[in-house]
Amino acid sequence: MRIGILGSGLMGGKLGTLFARAGHDVVFSYARSEQKLKRLARGALRLAPLAQDRPGSARAGTPADAVRDADAILLAVHWSRVDDVLKQAGDVAGKVIITCALPMNADDTALAIGQTSSGAETLAKKLRRAKVVSAFGTVPSEVFFGVFGARRRKNRPSLAYCGDDAAAKKVTATLIRDVGFEPVDAGPLRIARYLEPFALLMAQLAYEGDDGPEVAYRFERFGR
Ligand SMILES: NC(=O)c1ccc[n+]([C@@H]2O[C@H](COP(=O)([O-])OP(=O)(O)OC[C@H]3O[C@@H](n4cnc5c(N)ncnc54)[C@H](OP(=O)(O)O)[C@@H]3O)[C@@H](O)[C@H]2O)c1
* 50 pLDDT higher than 60: no
Looking at residue 53, what is its pLDDT?
57
Which among 88, 93, 91, 96 is positioned nearest to 3, based on CA atoms?
96
Ligand 1 site-directed mutation target among 75, 98, 99, 100, most atoms within 8 Å of CB: 100
Measured from the CB, is residue 32 less than 6 Å from ligand 1?
A: yes
Which among 56, 81, 82 is positioned nearest to 71, based on CA atoms?
56
* 51 pLDDT higher than 60: no
For CA atoms 7, 11, 13, 17, the dihedral sign is negative
Measured from the CB, is residue 8 less than 6 Å from ligand 1?
A: yes
Antiparallel, parallel or unpaired: β 158-163 and 131-134? antiparallel
Spatial separation of the C-alpha atoms in residues 172 and 178, rounded to whole Å: 10
Residues 14-49: pLDDT tens digits? Answer: 999 999 999 999 999 999 999 999 999 999 987 655
> Which residue minimizes the CA distance to atom 38 of ligand 1?
31
C-beta separation of 26 from 20 below 8 A? yes
Helix (H) or strand (E) holding 149: helix 144-149
Residues 85-138: pLDDT tens digits? Answer: 999 999 999 999 999 999 999 999 999 999 999 999 999 999 999 999 999 999
What does the radius of gyration of the chain's CA atoms come to, in whole angstroms?
16
Ordered strands of the 158-163 beta sheet: 57-60, 25-29, 2-6, 72-75, 96-99, 131-134, 158-163, 182-185
Query: Ligand 1 centroid to 79 CA: how many Å?
Result: 9
C-beta separation of 156 from 180 below 8 A? yes
DSSP state of 117: -
Burial (Cβ within 10 Å: 0-12, 13-18, ≥19) of residue 140: buried
